[in-house]
Structure 1
Amino acid sequence: MFHLSSDNLDDLMRRTFIRLLSGSKRNNRVSSRKGKSTEIFGALLELTNSRARLGRSEARARVFSPLGELLWYLSGSNGLEQINYYVPGYHEFSDDGLILNGAYGRRMFGEARRNADTEINDEWQRVIDTLKAEPGSRNAIIQIYANADGARKGPEGKRSKDIPCTCTIHFVIRKKRLHLHVHMRSNDVFLGLPHDVFAFTMLQEIAARELGVEVGTYQHSVASLHLYDDTDTQTARTDALSYVNEGLHDIVPMPPMPLGDPWPAIRQVLRAEGEIRAGNPDYEPPIGMDQYWQDIILLLRVFALGKYRDGEGAEELLGRLHHGGFRLYVLDRIAKKKVAEPAIKDLFETKELDAKGEP
C-alpha cells in the first residue's frame, strides 16, 4: 500500500509524481483503452488540511475547471453542455453527445435540490439525516459506482464511454469533526486527482456546515492510481516532471466556509453560474451575500470573460476578490491571454528528475 499524508494538495501530488516517475519496481506498466500508463495499485492519500485543496504550481494551478465541475455536481445535472464549458473534451465520454452516464451529481443530488420550495429526498439528504440522528454512524455512505455500470451499453451497443471512477463517498463524525473517505477504482493522477480532491473536500465542508461540526481530514483511496505516458495529444509524463522540478510551493488554504446551512447560498451561486455561462459575465452577486460566495461568483465571471471577451475586464475583478489566494489563478489566466506560452515539452525535455525513489 502506497500511503502519503500531507497538509496540502501540492505536496501529495509532488510526492506521488516522484514515485510514478522513479522507475520503482513496485510500479506497474498498464495498457488500457485510454493508453499506456504507469500505475500504483493500492494508494491512500490523506489531506490533513482539507481547505488546502488547490494546487499553487506554475504547471498545475487550477481553480476554474475544478470549480465548474463542483457546481455541475451540486446542480444534480448529467448534461454535457454545462461541464464541457469548463472542461472541453468531456464530450469524448458522452455516449450520445447530450449527457454523461457517470455524472456524480445526478447520483448524489436530485435536480429538485436547486429549488428551495421542493421537498428534498436524495442520497445526500439521506447521509445528512443519518449523521444528525446518529453522529457515530458508519452508514453515511453514498455509492457512486453501481454493478450495472460495468456492463452498461451506449447507443451503439458498445460499453459506455463514461464509467464512474468513484466507488463510494463515506462520511464519519469523530471528535466533533467531519472526516471523509473516498474510494476510487481508478484515478488519473495528473488530470483527475486535483479535480477530485477539490470537489470532494468542498462537499465535505458543505456537509460539515450542514451538520454544525468542523471539517476534518480527507482520505483519498485509489485502487489504480496512474500517470499516462506522453503521446501525440498529451504530455502528462513530461508535465508531471516539470511539476516536480518546480520544487515546493507556498501553502494557501481556502478560507473557512461561512457557518450555517450553505444551501441557500449554493442555490444563488448555481443561478449565477447558469446566467454567467449563458453569456452574462457582468452578473453581480446578490446584495448581502457573504464574501466567500461572492468570490466564487467573481471567479466564474473571470472565466466567462476569458470565453466571451478575451479576458477584458478581468483585472477589475481581480481587485474585488476578498481571498488573496485566488489572485494567483486570475493572474495566470490574464497572463495566458497576453503571452503565448512556450511548449512545455521543449521547455523541460532536458531537465532531470531532482528526486529518486520513495518520497
Structure 2
Amino acid sequence: MNESVRYPASLTQMPNYRNISFATVDSVADVLTSGVEVRVRGKLTRELLGRVTSLERPYERYLFVPKRHSDVFAQFAETMWMLAGRDDIAWLTRYLPRAPEFSDDGTTWHGAYGPRLRRWCGSIDQLDEARQLLTKDLASRRAVMMVFDPARDYVDSKDIPCNNWLSWIARNGKLHLNVAVRSNDAMWGFSGVNAFEWSVLQELMSFWLGLENGPATYFATSFHLYDIHFDRVRQMNNSFHGLTPYDFGIGRAPFRTLWDEFECKLKKWFIVEEKIRAEPNVPLFQHGRVDDPFLDSGLALIHVFWAHRQWGAERLVKELGQLPAEDYVVAIYDQLRRLYPALTDNIAQPEIRRFFEACRGISVNASDDFKLAIKRLHAEKDRAYGGAWKRRGELVSILPNIARKADRLENLVQTGATMRGESLLDTVIDLYVYVEKYRLFLAEHLEDNDLLPNDARKPYSDHDANFDTLVDRLDLQMPTQSTKELISDVVTRFDACWRNAETRGDTAEQFELATKLAEAAGALIARVVADDTVALARFVRSEVQHAGR
C-alpha cells in the first residue's frame, strides 16, 4: 500500500537554479536518487512530495540538456496555442503528434490552459484582469489566475489540468510568478512545456507592466518520473556539460508588443503560420513577420520545422546562418544536429560556434573534468579557510578533519543513514582532499621524499599547484572491492595513522601510513565515481558553474 511509504522530510527544501537547463538535470536526478517508488494507475514512478523549485532567470527558457531530446518546435507551437486561448487538437497535432492521446473526444483537450486563462466561464480573460489589477496597484497581492475548475474537473478524463493556479506579485521592480502544480512529470511536464510556456507568459506580463522578469517558483504536490525515463535521466546527467548559451554572449528575442496590439498580432501570427505550412520551400520570413522580435522568432522556428527536409543540409546551414545569435537559433541547431550531424560544424554566428565548441571540449575526457573539478573545489576552500586546516597541528586540526569523514563513512555502512545536501561522493572527495593535504604537510618535514618534483614550491601544503600534482596522479580505474570493503579499508588505515600520531611516531613512518590511507581514499573515489555517475556529473557541473565557465 502506498500509504505505508515514508517520505524523507528533506525533500521539501527549495532548490534555486539559474535556468531550466540546470533545474531539469538536478531535479530529475533528485527524483531518481531520493524519490519514493509509487504505482499510479498501474505505472511505476519515483516521486518527491512537496517539491518547490525556483528559476532565477525563467526567460532563459530554451533547454540545452544532451539526451533530453526536447522539441523546441512543439514547445513554441503549444505556447502560441495557449496564448491564443485554443483547445483544438487538429492544429496542435501538427507539432505534437501525441496530442490526440490526451483527448476525450478526439477534437479538444479538456484541460487545455488557453480557454481557461483567456475565456474563463466563456468570458473572463484572466490575463487581462491580472494585467489591469497590477497596472492599477503594483503592490497588490490579488493577481491570481485559476486553471483548475471544480465545476468541470472532478470527472474522469484523460486531461485534468496539472498546473492549477498562477499568482503574480511585483516587488522591487520585478514581477514574480508562482505556479501551483498538483502533478508534475519532471520529464515531459516541467521540462517539456510548462516552464517554457509560463516563462513566456511572465515575459509578456512583465513587459506590459514595465517591470523586469523576476524568478518563477513552482510548487508541485507530486514531482515524479515514470520508470520508462529512468535510464534517460542517467544519460542526461552523464552528458550535461554545465553550460548554456547565455554564458557566451547569446541573447534572446524579446517580446515588445503593447497589450492593445497583442490580439491583432496573435491573429497575424497564425495567418503567417498557415502560409508557411502551405508553402515552406521559400526563404525565411518571405511570408512576412508580425513585427515583434519574440513572435517573429517563433515564425522562424515554425518555418524551419516545415522546410528543413525540403531544403536539405546545405540550404539549412545557409538559412540558419542569416539569423541572429539568439537562444532560439541555438535551440534549432541543437535539435536538428540529431538529424544533420555536421550541422554544428558550419555555424556562421561566432558566439553560437563558441558555445558548441565549449560543450564538445568539456565532454572529451570525463576523468580530466572530474580531476579539474576537485582542484577547483580545493582552491575555493583554500581561499576561504587559508591555513586553518593545519593551524593547531596533527592531533587538533589535521587528523580530526580526516576522522570526521572516515567516521561519517563508517556510520553510513553501519546504518545506511544519509545526510541532507551531502552525497556519498561529496564525503569521499572531502576525505581524499584532507588526506592528500596531510601528505603534503608531512612531506614538508622530511628531508628525502619523492612526493613532488625537486622544484616544487615550499611549504608544500601552502601551494595549490602541489595539491594539483597529486590529483593528476589519481587512478580512477574501478577497483574490484565493493564500496563497503573500501570504506572498511579507509577506516583501518586511518586508525593506524591516528595511533602513530598519538604516540608521536616517526615522521617518515607516519608519511608511509598516510600514503597508504591516500591510496585507500583514491580507490574509494574510483569506486563511487563508477557506481554513481549521476553524482559524478552533478559534482563536475557544480564546479564548472562556480568557476564561471
TM-score w.r.t. structure 1 length? 0.82
Aligned to 1:76: 85
Matched, 1:21 2:18: no
- 1:230-258 C-alpha deviation (Å, 9 max, x unpaired): 2xxxxx11111111111333223452624
| Higher mean C-alpha displacement, 272-281 vs 30-39 | 272-281
Q: Which amino acid letter does the alignment assign opposite residue 226 of structure 1?
A: H
Alpha-carbon distance change, 288 to 107 in structure 1, aligned in 2, over 3 angstroms: closer
| Higher mean C-alpha displacement, 27-36 vs 189-198 | 27-36
| Higher mean C-alpha displacement, 98-107 vs 210-219 | 210-219
Matched, 1:65 2:74: yes
CA distance in 1, matches of 2:313, 2:134: 44
| Higher mean C-alpha displacement, 95-104 vs 142-151 | 142-151
Q: Where in structure 1 are there 5+ consecutive unaligned residues?
A: 112-119, 153-158, 231-235, 340-349
Question: Any idea what SS the aligned residue of 1:191 has?
Answer: helix
Bigger Cα Rg: 2
Q: Which has the higher contact order (CA 8 A, sep 6+)?
A: 1
Alpha-carbon distance change, 308 to 183 in structure 1, aligned in 2, over 3 angstroms: farther
Aligned to 1:355: 535
Q: Where in structure 2 are there 5+ consecutive unaligned residues?
A: 1-11, 342-529, 543-549
Matched, 1:261 2:258: yes
Alpha-carbon distance change, 336 to 57 in structure 1, aligned in 2, over 3 angstroms: same
Candidates 233, 243, 247, aligned match of 2:240: 247
Structure number having the greater strand percentage: 1
Alpha-carbon distance change, 221 to 307 in structure 1, aligned in 2, over 3 angstroms: farther
Aligned to 2:330: 328
Q: Which amino acid letter does the alignment assign opposite residue 269 of structure 2?
A: V
Aligned to 2:202: 204
Q: Residues 78 and 99 of structure 1 are in contact (CA less than 8 Å); yes or no, is this contact kept in structure 2?
A: yes
- The number of residue pairs the alignment matches comes to 328
Deviation at 1:89, TM superposition (A): 0.9
Aligned to 1:96: 105
Question: Any idea what SS the aligned residue of 2:337 has?
Answer: helix
CA distance in 2, matches of 1:213, 1:305: 37
- 1:21-71 C-alpha deviation (Å, 9 max, x unpaired): 21x3xx222212272110001011101112222211222254212111101
Deviation at 1:295, TM superposition (A): 2.2
Candidates 159, 166, 169, aligned match of 1:169: 166
| Higher mean C-alpha displacement, 219-228 vs 76-85 | 76-85
Q: Residues 7 and 49 of structure 1 are in contact (CA less than 8 Å); yes or no, is this contact kept in structure 2?
A: yes
Aligned to 1:233: none
Candidates 184, 188, 192, aligned match of 1:187: 184
Aligned to 2:58: 50
Deviation at 1:271, TM superposition (A): 2.7
Candidates 215, 221, 224, aligned match of 2:222: 224
Deviation at 1:292, TM superposition (A): 3.8
Alignment RMSD: 2.9
Q: Residues 311 and 334 of structure 1 are in contact (CA less than 8 Å); yes or no, is this contact kept in structure 2?
A: no
Alpha-carbon distance change, 292 to 104 in structure 1, aligned in 2, over 3 angstroms: closer
Aligned to 2:20: 9
- 1:133-165 C-alpha deviation (Å, 9 max, x unpaired): 11111111111011134433xxxxxx2111100
Q: Residues 29 and 37 of structure 1 are in contact (CA less than 8 Å); yes or no, is this contact kept in structure 2?
A: yes
CA distance in 1, matches of 2:43, 2:281: 38
CA distance in 2, matches of 1:208, 1:145: 24
Q: Which amino acid letter does the alignment assign opposite residue 52 of structure 1?
A: E
Alpha-carbon distance change, 53 to 334 in structure 1, aligned in 2, over 3 angstroms: closer
Q: Residues 212 and 260 of structure 1 are in contact (CA less than 8 Å); yes or no, is this contact kept in structure 2?
A: no
Q: Residues 181 and 219 of structure 2 are in contact (CA less than 8 Å); yes or no, is this contact kept in structure 1?
A: yes
Alpha-carbon distance change, 260 to 151 in structure 1, aligned in 2, over 3 angstroms: closer
Q: For 1:133-148, what aligned pairs fall within 5 Å after superposition? A: 133-148=136-151
CA distance in 1, matches of 2:217, 2:287: 33
- 1:64-104 C-alpha deviation (Å, 9 max, x unpaired): 12111101101211001122222221111101111110000
Deviation at 1:166, TM superposition (A): 0.8
Alpha-carbon distance change, 300 to 310 in structure 1, aligned in 2, over 3 angstroms: same
Q: Which amino acid letter does the alignment assign opposite residue 229 of structure 1?
A: D
Matched, 1:33 2:46: no
Structure number having the greater helix percentage: 2
Candidates 316, 337, 341, aligned match of 2:318: 316
- 1:260-295 C-alpha deviation (Å, 9 max, x unpaired): 516254443233233334554646363682444332
Q: Which amino acid letter does the alignment assign opposite residue 217 of structure 1?
A: P
Question: Any idea what SS the aligned residue of 2:187 has?
Answer: coil
Question: Any idea what SS the aligned residue of 1:172 has?
Answer: strand
* Percentage of matched positions with identical amino acids: 24
CA distance in 1, matches of 2:531, 2:235: 8
Aligned to 1:160: 157
Alpha-carbon distance change, 292 to 34 in structure 1, aligned in 2, over 3 angstroms: farther
Q: Residues 142 and 170 of structure 1 are in contact (CA less than 8 Å); yes or no, is this contact kept in structure 2?
A: yes
CA distance in 2, matches of 1:138, 1:106: 24
CA distance in 2, matches of 1:186, 1:288: 36
Aligned to 1:155: none
CA distance in 2, matches of 1:308, 1:39: 43
Q: Residues 290 and 296 of structure 2 are in contact (CA less than 8 Å); yes or no, is this contact kept in structure 1?
A: no
Deviation at 1:229, TM superposition (A): 0.2
